[in-house]
Structure formats: C-alpha cells, structure tokens
C-alpha cells in the first residue's frame, strides 16, 4: 500500500471483517427450493480455455446458486461436467434461450474473437446483473461502442480487473495503477458506472457512489501469495456470480 493509500484509509476506508458479511448471508428456510437462489450463467471458454468456465461454474455451484449454466464458445467443449453433472452445459449460441437468468458472468477464457465481441455486446444489453472480467474487459478497452453500452446499463454491473486490465481500461500504465490503486478503482467505477473490484495485494472495492476524493472504499486485506496461480480469478468470478444471482447487491458481493 502506498503512503497516499494509507492516508486515504485513515480518512474513509473500511477494512473488511467477518461481521460485515453476516447480514447479507441469511440462513435458508426449511421449505426453500433451488428457484429461490437464482440462476447464473458463466460465459466464455473459447478453444483451449474451457477449464476457466468449469472452474467458475463449480465455484458458483459450491456457493449455493440455485441453477448454474456453463456457456462455451469452443466448438469442442464438453457436453457434461463429469465431476459435477448438475451444472448445465451449453453452447454460447444458445444463451438467448436462458430467459430465467438472474446473473451473467462473462469473460473467463473468453478470447477476443468476433463471436466473443458479439456475445459480449448481447449480454451487456440485457437487463440482468452482470460481472465482466478478463478478455471481456480487454474487448471493452478496445471498443468505444462497448464502453458506451456498459455506462448506460440499467442493471447492476461489476467489473473485476487486475492491474494490467485496469491500465488498459484507463489508457494508462500498470505502474500508475499500482501507485494509485484507490484512485484507479474509483476512476474505473465512475467511468463505467459500475462497482469495481480492483484485484491485487489489498483488493480495492468501490462503486459509483464512492467515486469521489472523499468517498468511502473498502479494502480486502486477506489472501496470500499462494493465490498467484492460474484459476483463482475464475473461482472468484463464480463466487461473486453466485451471490449476485441470489439477489445480493453488487457492493455487498464485491466486498
């Protein structure tokens, strides 16, 4: 954490503690059913990157989403997850048929093909909670048209960039993102009218309501260097998507 971040933390930030989460995670009623806990689609998995969608889908399942759909771009994607056959596997082309969705997670193993571009534009235009990450963010950084769609969305949006993705979105250098992580997260939240989860050692969470010089922001002080491994970001996407699908607000989920 930089000196500036340390001063900002003293002014207005909140370090996350367990008590903050308990009100957002009530006990389940005895007569509940899967329809009470939302439906989430994990969209991505181009050729060679199918595992990213499987990891995110399994994480969403473990976190209690009522229904989990895995939608793949790859032509050779599996038809069933042998480890967890309760996850429903689809071609991304059939996503338009999943009208019951309460959340879409788009980006894991996404690639930057024309098909990915068109699918991203379609998903962002839907009135459903949306988490955008990975190559979906990279596509947005390259296309002003997609940036406008994000800013004008009426449904809740979360973006979860790592520092390099954040730098592309803000058209700056990674070093500047890391030197001013709080300000960078606030700028991203304001620019895209979204909740921003800027990943890293001390993940920063902020929303459009916090995107000003004196606004509050949250910092996740947990984690360790062991998280610097392939697949951890996919698991995070699945966790957040599951909680959003169940009706938690984007800020509650981001924290």
The reported pLDDT for the residue numbered 224 is 86
Please compute the mean of the pLDDT values over residues 224-248 and round it to a whole number. 91
172-222: pLDDT as tens digits: 999 999 999 999 999 999 999 999 999 999 999 998 765 444 456 888 888
CA distance 201 to 222: 8
Mean pLDDT of 103-108: 97
Instruction: State the average pLDDT for the chain.
Output: 88
160 lies in a domain? Answer: yes
Residue 123 has a pLDDT of: 96
Query: Does residue 28 fall inside a structural domain?
Result: no
Task: Identify any residues that bridge with 196 across adjacent strands, giving them in sequence order.
Answer: 159, 206
pLDDT at 204: 94
Q: How confident is the model at residue 11 (pLDDT cuts 50, 70, 90)?
A: very low
Instruction: Give me the pLDDT at residue 220, please.
Output: 87
Q: Is residue 238 part of a domain?
A: yes
Paired residues of 220 in beta bridges: 203
Q: How confident is the model at residue 254 (pLDDT cuts 50, 70, 90)?
A: low
Residue 252: the pLDDT is: 62
DSSP string across the chain? --HHHHHHHHHH-EE--GGGTGGGSPPPPTT--GGGG-EEEEEE--TT-HHHHHHHHHHHHHTT-SEEEEEE--TT--SS-SS-TTSEEEEGGGGGG-TT-SEEEE-TT----HHHHHHHHHHHTSSSEEEE-THHHHHHHH-HHHHHHHHT-SS-EEE---HHHHHHHHTS-HHHHHHTHHHHHHHHHHHHTSEEEE-SSSEEEE-GGG-STT---EEE----GGG-STTHHHHHHHHHHHHHHTT--HHHHH-
Q: What is the pLDDT of residue 250?
A: 59
Of the pLDDT bands very low, low, confident and very high (cuts 50, 70, 90), residue 227 is confident
Give the total number of structural domains in the chain: 1
pLDDT, tens digit, for every residue of 116-168? 999 999 999 999 999 999 999 999 999 999 999 999 999 999 999 999 999 99
Q: How far apart are CA 60 and CA 174, in angstroms?
A: 30
pLDDT attached to residue 9? 44
Cα distances (angstroms) measured from residue 9 to each of 17, 190, 195:
15, 19, 19
113: Cα separation from own chain's centroid: 20
214 within domain boundaries: yes
Question: How many residues appear in the chain?
Answer: 255
User: 192: domain range?
Assistant: 3-23+33-254
Q: Looking at residues 12-30, what average pLDDT do you find?
A: 68
Q: pTM of this prediction?
A: 0.88
- Domain of 139, CATH number, reads 3.40.1190.20
């Amino acid at each position: 954490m930089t000196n500036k971040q340390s001063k900002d933390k003293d002014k207005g930030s909140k370090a996350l503690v367990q008590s903050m989460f308990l009100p957002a995670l009530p006990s389940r009623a005895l007569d509940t059913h899967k329809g009470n806990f939302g439906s989430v689609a994990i969209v991505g998995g181009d050729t060679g990157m199918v595992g990213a969608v499987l990891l995110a889908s399994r994480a969403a399942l473990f976190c209690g989403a009522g229904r989990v759909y895995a939608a793949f771009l790859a032509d050779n994607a599996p038809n069933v997850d042998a480890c967890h056959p309760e996850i429903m596997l689809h071609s991304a082309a059939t996503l338009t048929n999943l009208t019951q969705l309460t959340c879409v997670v788009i980006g894991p193993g996404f690639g930057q093909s024309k098909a990915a571009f068109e699918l991203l534009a379609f998903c962002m235009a839907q009135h459903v909670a949306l988490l955008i990450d990975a190559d979906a963010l990279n596509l947005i950084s390259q296309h002003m048209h997609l940036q406008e769609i994000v800013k004008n969305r009426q449904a809740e949006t979360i973006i979860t960039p790592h520092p390099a993705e954040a730098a592309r979105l803000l058209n700056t250098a990674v070093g500047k993102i890391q030197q001013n992580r709080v300000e960078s997260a606030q700028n991203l939240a304001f620019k895209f009218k979204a909740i921003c989860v800027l990943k890293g050692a001390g993940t920063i969470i902020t929303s459009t309501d916090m995107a000003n010089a004196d606004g509050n922001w949250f910092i996740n002080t947990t984690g360790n260097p062991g998280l610097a491994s392939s697949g951890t970001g996919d698991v995070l996407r699945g966790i957040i998507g599951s909680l959003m699908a169940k009706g938690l607000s984007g800020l509650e989920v981001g924290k």
